[in-house]
Structure 1
Amino acid sequence: MSNCSSIISGIIGPVLILDDIRDGALHLAALFIAPAGQVPGPLTVDGQAAPMQCIAHYPGASVHVARFTRPATRRSVYAWDGQEFPLAGDLSGDLRLAFVSCNGEETGDLDREGSERNAMWARLGAEHRRAPFALLLHGGDQVYADEATHGHPLSDGWPGRLPTTPTGTEVAGLRKHLREKFLARYAALYAAPEFAWLAARVPSLMQWDDHDICDGWGSLAEGATRSAVGQTLFSIAREAFLVFQHGAQDGALPPRFHDRAGGSLGWSVQAPGLRLLAPDLRSERTRRQVMGSAGWAMMDTEARRAAPGRTLLMSSVPLLGPRLSLLESLMLVIPKMQHYEDDLRDQWQSRAHRASWQRMLRLVCNIAQTEGQDITALSGEIHLATRATMDVAPGHVLHQLVASGIAHRAPPKAWARILGSIALLGEAPLKGHPIRIHRIPGQPGRYAAERNYLTLARSDGAWSAVWVLEHSGPSDPLAI
């Protein structure tokens, strides 16, 4: 790859990833990207070196992971390259979490000026210095890989143009091209100093969405996604997702993943009074389904599992939203809008997914109706900040908190106003459970068109949320 050596001129990392929580310990993976021929120096815990494993080779680079444990009940440290990295660590009492999504843009993302692109990462890092976060939750679109298909004759025109019967040699060349493109994107993102500082000190949990593969994956025409180019793209994106976002490989997934075969990459993690639950809304997605049998099996199991305290359900596309089926109907009569069909098909609220949406909402209601359990939904994807509620049981309200995006620049304020107007019409996919879109505290409209991230705090057992917006600053705390 022509620009790989310039991007990976030194070791990138550590990027901390949470494998699991069990036996009172955080099971962690520290990920490093190294130039060819180099191996990261030892990572040490209490003076002992953690084994370093190479999990992926690329032309010009390799990816290494060191796995180790740290207490889940108190602060601690680990060391690498002569530096100690403190961890907030304690998940047993009061704690702070951060939630981000949409770390990039569809076009020209790697060409953006770094301090502008990563301004909200810098702000999040400064906030961690003041009051540390125990975990960093990534709700999808950690990487914008839309341009990875550019520059190869098989994929240059995809998905609009499909090559006829490509040869095995041609497909092998495409695989090599895509692997190097994905490596370059992850390396550039992980090397950004604003991200790198925080990622070395706060363990991440990541869930993918369409741009981690390509814009609209699963909602595009099935002829494109099932083609040789589409399947090759998905395979390479999936490999990169496991390697760079989970420090993992097929056949050796961390124990938080439900489907050990990897057909669905949903996961759950449980700590005292807290469950983090992230279904995979991409691996099994088609134009007619959001999840397949493996994804639904996970959600059915989790709905039955006792999870005292708070469940944070990460839905990469918003679980609660306005009546977007109205916009889908407009597309039938306004040809210029048909370009956005896959964007609306991506949403739970699409007419094509209404039965699936109702099924998921019933599962959420079942969780909320269990004694001693509460549930909150976290979402990104829409490049706006907003919140919503749904009555799930007497005395119980499902709060949905949407924070999107941390690096993607906001759409026009007019789009936020249009969505706010549609929200006034209301929506109730389940009879007796109305959905309402609300203003973030201090905001004039229901949707805020600013870059943003979300912080969550548990204090004396009570939860609250604060949105931090690029221009408006932090919102007042919202009790959830």
Structure 2
Amino acid sequence: MNTQPNVSTGRQDYNGSYPTNADATIPHNVQDGHEGVGAGPQVTSTAKELELVCGPLLNYRRMTNEGDGTVLWHGSVLIVTTPSRKMPELALRPIGAVSPDDENSTSNGPGGQKIEGVKLYEDTRKAFWRFRFQVPFQEFEAKWEYEIYHLNYPSGKEMSKSQTFAVPSVAQSMRILFHSCNGFSVGTDIDAWSGPALWNDVLRMHDQKPFHVMIGGGDQIYNDGVRVDGPLREWTTIGNPHKRRDYPFNEKMRAECDEYYYNNYIRWYGHAPFSNANGQIPQLNIWDDHDIIDGFGSYTDRFMNCHVFRGIGGVAHKYYLLFQHHVAPPKSTFTSDAPKAVEANAGTTPADPIQLSDSWVLIEEKDDPTYIIGPKPGPYVEEHSRSMYCQLGARIAFCGIDARTERTRHQINYPETYDLIFNRLSKELQANSDIKHLILLLGVPIAYPRLQWLENIFSSPIMGPIKFLNKRFGFAGSLFNQFDGNVDLLDDLDDHYTAHQHKHERRDLVHRLQNLCKQHSVRVTILGGDVHLAAIGRFYSHPKLGISAERDYRYMPNVISSAITNKPPPQAVADLLARRNKIHHLDHDTDETLLEMFDRDPEYSDEKLRAAAANGVDNVKRNGKMKQKTRAKNHATMPSRNYAIICESSPHGATRSSMGAPPATSGDGSVSTPPTVKSNTRKPIHEGENNAGTGHPAASGLRETGLCGPYGLDVTLRVEINPSDKEGHTDGYGFSVPALDARGFSQQGVTW
């Protein structure tokens, strides 16, 4: 293996001592041309120093095989600074193996690197800088360190100037952290929920066994306050829905919203302990409604097409690209006082000279190949969707579907977008038979209890008199939203794949996934958040077919992990969902239901009990158990803050030379006994699901189980014990997912 590749961008192969003073400057009339050209005049600044405002934020992009035995890890770092004529530089160096006992850790690695920052966006108050770089995968799990120079760090704020991150060995797949709903809904008592406490638990787990990637499933930030204490407050209070729809989104309001969204990102992404994770665990993100505003995309079409929604969609998209993707934004966003922008309802917003008069935007030469760009702009966010594909180490692939940019009340994604995504997946899986698992990220769960009866009630004529009383006298005010006057929960229900208007799109998506699994013998595991509780849904073959899970291309678990920060729903809501956990039939051959895996409420171990007591946590009983979260009959949903860990069951059991050899079997080489037509498939249906919950070997999230063969996956849900615990201690629930061997397998006369 070649361990000395030319692996940086900017100035290459820097092996000297790192700079200690700021001497790099950028003439104000020079643009960052080596990655693109600029739109708008270069912002003139007389400041001599770069003041760090936010960051660093670390992203993972993709991996590439260079064809000479070298495999490269691609990533980027983003910082936000005040404008200056200085240019920041990032110094990167390897610092050895994650485990000092690794027998391969004596391999020679590359020397240090020095990477120049590329400016993505600048205006009179702020500048965004990106550092792209590549490092080689080694024969061992490696640790890297980076530091950014020519910066003044904020005084009085504790932060490390250097950051480290881990890269798996070339024979490993990545250890994955999955989270969603990283913020608080409007009106939540943040102190009562100890703020973003679970990020402390994430960092503790990371210190014990590092995460290689951090997947954000949407709502990485909550921007809903823009209508409560932000520039949309006056608009929100307008009682007449026609006046609200016709309200202009002029340049003044755009600038105010721009300021609000920027400040909210700075506040949240600079807030510990979340900010500590941002610099050392590489991110992959898609967005959802709260990244824009609650319910965006799921209100009525006539209302969603109003100027204000089009305007905030553009502003939110701008900062979503910058903070969450490290990508330069469009040159301009929608305003109602720019005639060309108003006319551009069927296309992207054209450049606005007013907006460009005091800002500068990098024009990217080409899109990162990680992205699957939608074929046409969204209906309300007038930009193209950005779904993603990349490989997460040796045997796991990842696809994240942008299910917000194209969303309407009756559509999640355009049919043409699905075609692009599945063509890309087929191409990648065909080219690489080493891939055994595809992690598919959706914004909301897809294997989840139906709530159509609740939708029918909220949409029925019986709600008419209550709506009238609400408009005239404010009756049942908390039941209705202030946007389109409908029941507040209706936009959330309309968001679900299980909503009646998404029924056919949902079924078609699952069928296309089944065909992908069958064709390429790859197991799909779906990630979904949004619903503020933990659960595990599964699709699987109807028991009448007698197919074991290891050979069932229809078996697809849906890991539902939400929220890592927002408060969970009441116990009664979780219990209601559990009562609705029927065995549903997607079609004649595919069933679906939630796995009953929550064998008890989360509780403290003796060690965690002592730590919680030392931190003054109340309500801690002697046995460590907390207030009951669910009724005794509910083992399917857990209304407590949580996050998920996903990793291979036997990451050291497969070497580079053995990739693609063993079949998909359980730990002892056999396959599981298929469920029968009399089986309760809400209970475990294969070896990896047996004893699912706190007694499962995967529950800790810190050791490999060895279950489900050499290519199985372990899944851990880490669930908060007590919201009063500012350290965010969790308890673990686990199960394992078998790899798939669908090649040449026939059952009951059917050949796949």
TM (normalized to structure 1)?
0.90
* Per-residue deviation, 1:59: 5.2
Tell me, yes or no, if the aligned pair for 1:11 and 1:40 is still in contact at 8 Å.
no
Deviation at 1:115, TM superposition (A): 8.7
Name 1:200's counterpart in structure 2.
279
Q: Which has the higher strand share?
A: 1
Give the deviation of 1:86 after TM superposition.
2.5
Counterpart of 2:181 in 1: which secondary structure?
coil
The equivalent residue for 2:599 is 442
Correspondence for 1:225: 304
Using the TM superposition, give the Cα deviation of residue 304 of structure 1 relative to its aligned residue in structure 2, in angstroms: 2.6
Give the aligned partner of residue 117 of structure 1.
Answer: 195
Question: Helix, strand or coil for the counterpart of 1:88?
Answer: strand
Asked if 1:67 is matched to 2:132, the reply is yes
1:26-81 per-residue CA deviation (whole Å, 9 max, x = no partner) reads 21111112234486742112443212122123553222211111224441313214
Corresponding position: 1:414 with 2:572: yes
Residue in 2 aligned with 1:368?
517
Q: Match for 1:343: what amino acid?
A: D
The 1-side partners of 2:511 and 2:493 are apart by 22
Tell whether 2:718 aligns with 1:468.
Answer: yes
1:455 aligns with 2:455: no
CA distance in 2 between counterparts of 1:384 and 1:161 reads 36
Which residue identity does 1:266 align to in structure 2? S
Cα drift, residue 427 of structure 1: 2.1
Say which is worse superposed, 307-316 or 32-41, in terms of deviation: 32-41
Q: Report the alpha carbon displacement of residue 113 of structure 1 after superposing the two structures with TM.
A: 4.6
Does structure 1 conserve the Cα–Cα contact (< 8 Å) formed by 2:180 and 2:219? yes
> Pick from 454, 475, 479: which aligns with 1:327?
454
Q: Which amino acid aligns with 2:400?
A: A
Residues 81 and 303 of structure 1: CA distance in aligned 2, closer, same or farther (over 3 Å):
closer
- 1:166-315 equivalences under 5 Å are 171-249=250-328, 250=330, 252=364, 253-259=367-373, 263-270=384-391, 271-307=393-429, 308-315=435-442
Q: Give the alignment partner of residue 53 of structure 1, picking from 118, 126, 133.
A: 118
Is the contact made by 1:182 and 1:240 (CA closer than 8 Å) also made in structure 2?
A: yes
* Contact kept? 2:721, 2:731, Cα under 8 Å: no
Larger RCO, structure (CA 8 Å, separation 6 or more): 1
Within the candidate set 90, 97, 105, 2:184 is matched to 105
- 8 Å CA contact 1:58–1:180 kept in 2: the answer is no
Distance 1:164 1:372, change over 3 A: closer
Larger deviation: 286-295 or 120-129?
286-295
CA distance in 1, matches of 2:113, 2:54: 22
Paired residues of 1:77 and 1:84 also in contact (CA < 8 A): no
Q: Structure 1 residues 399 and 81, CA, compared in 2 at 3 Å: closer, same or farther?
A: same
1:266-287 deviation line (CA, Å, top 9, x unaligned) = 1111242111111111111111
Gaps of 5+ in 2: 1-49, 66-70, 94-111, 150-160, 331-362, 376-382, 430-434, 467-478, 480-486, 601-633, 654-710, 723-729, 738-752
Greater helix content: 1
Query: Are the aligned partners of 1:367 and 1:374 in contact in 2 as well (CA < 8 Å)?
Result: no
Tell me the equivalent position of 1:28.
75
8-17 or 223-232: bigger deviation: 8-17
When the two chains are superposed, the root-mean-square deviation of aligned CA atoms in Å is 2.6
Match of 1:5 in 2: none
Runs of 5+ consecutive residues of structure 1 not aligned to the other structure: 1-7
Residues 99 and 408 of structure 1, relative CA distance in 2, 3 Å threshold:
same
Is 1:17 the counterpart of 2:59? The answer is yes
Residue aligned with 2:585, SS:
coil
Contact 2:645–2:716 (8 Å) recurs in 1: yes
Does the Cα contact within 8 Å between 1:101 and 1:139 map onto a contact in 2? yes
Compared with structure 1, are the counterparts of its residues 436 and 293 closer, same or farther at alpha carbon in structure 2 (3 Å cutoff)?
closer
Distance in 2, Cα, partners of 1:398 & 1:392: 10
2:718 and 2:733 in contact (8 A); partners too: no
CA distance in 2, matches of 1:9, 1:343: 41
Letter in 1 for 2:732: S
User: What's the CA shift for 1:403?
Assistant: 0.5
2:145 is the alignment partner of 1:78: yes
2-structure distance, mates of 1:54, 1:44:
17
Rg: which structure is higher? 2
Residue 190 of structure 1 aligns to which amino acid in structure 2? Y
CA distance in 2, matches of 1:171, 1:322: 42
Do the aligned partners of residues 103 and 439 (structure 1) sit closer, same or farther apart at CA in structure 2, a change above 3 Å counting? same
Task: Quote the Cα distance in structure 1 between the aligned partners of 2:251 and 2:448.
Answer: 42
Separation (CA, whole Å) in 2 of partners of 1:334 and 1:388 = 33
Q: CA deviation at 1:151?
A: 2.7
AA in 1 matched with 2:579: S
Partner AA of 1:467 in structure 2: L
Q: Using a 3 Å threshold, how does the CA distance of structure 1 residues 88 and 478 change in structure 2: closer, same or farther?
A: same
Distance 1:326 1:215 in 2: 23
- The 5 Å alignment of 1:363-442 reads 363-391=512-540, 394=547, 395-396=551-552, 397-424=555-582, 426-442=583-599
Q: Which of structure 1's runs of 4+ aligned residues deviate more than 6 A?
A: none
1:384–1:451 Cα contact (<8 Å) kept: yes
| Alignment partner, residue 90 of structure 2 | 43
The DSSP-based 3-state class of the residue aligned with 1:339 is coil
Distance of 1:363 and 1:192 partners within structure 2: 41
Kindly provide the CA deviation profile for residues 157-189 of structure 1, in whole angstroms up to 9, marking residues without a partner as x: 48956447556xx51112111111111111111
Residues 239 and 381 of structure 1: CA distance in aligned 2, closer, same or farther (over 3 Å): same
Query: Is the 1:75–1:86 contact (alpha carbons within 8 Å) kept by the matching residues of 2?
Result: no
Matched residue SS, 1:208 = coil
Q: Compute the TM-score of the two structures, normalised by the length of structure 2.
A: 0.59
Distance in structure 2 (CA, Å) of the matches to 1:327 and 1:246: 37
1:347 aligned to 2:496? yes
Residues 455 and 490, structure 2, Cα contact 8 Å, conserved in 1: yes
Q: Distance in 1 between matches of 2:85 and 2:643?
A: 35
Q: CA offsets per residue over residues 301-335 of structure 1, 9 Å max, x none?
A: 14533533100000111011112222212222653
Whole-angstrom CA distance in 2 between matches of 1:10 and 1:304:
43
